[in-house]
Amino acid sequence: DAGVIQSPRHEVTEMGQEVTLRCKPISGHDYLFWYRQTMMRGLELLIYFNNNVPIDDSGMPEDRFSAKMPNASFSTLKIQPSEPRDSAVYFCASSLSAGSYEQYFGPGTRLTVT
C-alpha cells in the first residue's frame, strides 16, 4: 500500500486566498483524521471522520475551516479566507477500524500564508 497520500506537499498563498488540502487514506481504513502542527501549539486534532461521516469537529478553529469526505478514498480540508496565523503543517492520518487505534500519518502539507 502507498500509505496515506497528501497533496500538495507545500503550499504558499497570500492572505485572503482559498486553500484546499487533499488526502487519500489507506484503502480499507474506516477513520480519517486531520491535524495541524505548529511550534507554538504542537499537534492539534482538527476533525475526524468515521465511514465518511464527521464525528468530532470541535478542534476546527473557526468557520473559515471546513472539511469534507465525499467518499472513502478522499478528503479535503479547506481554509477560506486564509490568514498568516494558519501557517502550519497539516497532517492527515487514517486508522483501520474501531479498536485498532494505531494511526497512519501522511507526509503532511506545509502551508505558508503571507
21-40 binders of other proteins (CB under 8 A): 31, 33
Pick the piece of the chain touching other proteins (CB under 8 A) from 14-22, 48-56, 68-76, 78-86. 48-56
Rounded to whole angstroms, the Cα distance separating 26 from 34 reads 14
Q: Determine if 43 is a binding residue for other proteins (CB under 8 A).
A: yes
Q: Which is nearer to other proteins, 65 or 91 (CB)?
A: 91
Distance CA 32, CA 19 (A): 20
Query: What minimum distance in Å lies between the beta carbon of 81 and other proteins?
Result: 27
CB atoms near residue 90 (< 10 Å): 22
Pair 78, 19: CB distance under 8 Å: yes
Only segment of 20-28, 62-70, 71-79, 100-108 that touches other proteins (CB under 8 A): 100-108
Answer for which of 14, 18, 56, 83 binds other proteins (CB under 8 A) is 56
Phi, psi dihedrals of residue 42, rounded to the nearest 5° = 70, -145
| Integer Cα distance of 106 and 16 in angstroms | 26
Footprint of other proteins (CB under 8 A): 4, 31, 33, 42-43, 45, 48, 50, 55-56, 91, 93, 95, 98, 101-108
